[in-house]
Amino acid sequence: MIVVVAPGQGAQSPGFLAPWLEDADAREHLHRLSEAAGLDLAHFGTDADADTIRATEIAQPLLVAAALISFAGLRNADAAAVAGHSVGEVAAAVLAGVLSEADGMRFVAARGRAMADAAGRVATGMAAVVGGDEQAVVDRLAELDLTPANRNGGGQIVAAGELPALAALQADPPARARVIPLTVAGAFHTRFMAPAVAPLTELAASLSPADPRRRLWTNHDGSEVDSGAAFLDLLVGQVASPVRWDSTMESFAAAGVTGIIELTPAGTLTGLAKRALKGVPTVAVKTPVDLAAANDLLDRTA
């Protein structure tokens, strides 16, 4: 079984959609997604600079749109399972049939706005802590009143909280650990995002989720979800609760996953898989050129 995964915020880079938009079908697809999100995603994916696409309300719809466009280039993906990291779960919801493309883009646009508003209330951020003893890392974060917002597996925990505390972590990291600041605008998946929950709850009440037609895992706790309504509830609560990608990858292993394809802008999740799921083939779909390898992996397991 192949799992197709969608990355989270911070994976974007200036111009990363340009190679995809050389194709007329992809341009039309992006136009539809842009209309649903109320944003010019072609501009943000090709011409906008790094600071512009770092903005939460831009980055989140842009990432989901990129995942959907790159998935459209896959063949024989009917039997593929899906999962997403953080905002990538919105893309996974669409790919699993829980939400329509239009509703998924409406939801992620609202998510980006609500989380940007929450992030603007207190100066916060995130940093990846790579290496070190896991318990020692968690203890150091607790000392600084930081939250382990993402437990990503492969020896990586993402710390989130107020900027002075993150600066103190970088200045005095846990033993044998490196601290890498992330290009995000707030402490996502922590108590600082609680103000974003109410508007998303209100929006979710207007949607009509369907039960997933593909196998679908949540990064809330790594469990497989077979109810569309339950998955939508998890999407809402996810903004203020930690991401357990380590548990999701453990579920992949338990399910006997034989390959992982990461959608655009790829690289982060396949990198984690190479460390945590040794021996499982991975393909990072960064540009349309990478579709050949992804399709070959799907063909071998069809």
DSSP state letters, the chain? -EEEEE--TT---TTTTTTGGGSHHHHHHHHHHHHHHTS-HHHHHHT--HHHHHSHHHHHHHHHHHHHHHHTT-SS-TT-EEEESTTHHHHHHHHTTSS-HHHHHHHHHHHHHHHHHHHTTS-EEEEEEEES-HHHHHHHHHHTT-EEEEEEETTEEEEEEEHHHHHHHHHSPPTTEEEEE-S-SS-TTSGGGGGGHHHHHHHHTT------SS-BB-TTTS-B---HHHHHHHHHHHTTS-B-HHHHHHHHHHTT--EEEEPSS-SHHHHHHHHHSTT--EEE--SGGGHHHHHHHHHHH-
Catalytic residue among 34, 86, 241, 251: 86
Q: Is 86 a catalytic residue?
A: yes
The pLDDT tens digits along the chain (302 residues) read: 999 999 999 889 999 999 999 999 999 999 999 999 999 999 999 999 999 999 999 999 999 999 999 999 999 899 899 999 999 999 999 999 999 999 999 999 999 999 999 999 999 999 999 999 999 999 999 999 999 999 999 889 999 999 999 999 999 999 999 999 987 889 999 999 999 999 999 999 999 999 999 999 999 999 999 999 999 999 999 999 999 999 999 999 999 999 999 999 999 999 999 999 999 999 999 999 999 999 999 998 76
Q: What is the pLDDT of residues 176-185, one digit of tens each?
A: 999 999 878 8
Whole-model pTM: value is 0.95
Domains in the chain with CATH codes: 2-120+190-301 (3.40.366.10), 124-181 (3.30.70.250)
Catalytic residue among 189, 220, 241, 247: 189
Q: Is 43 a catalytic residue?
A: no
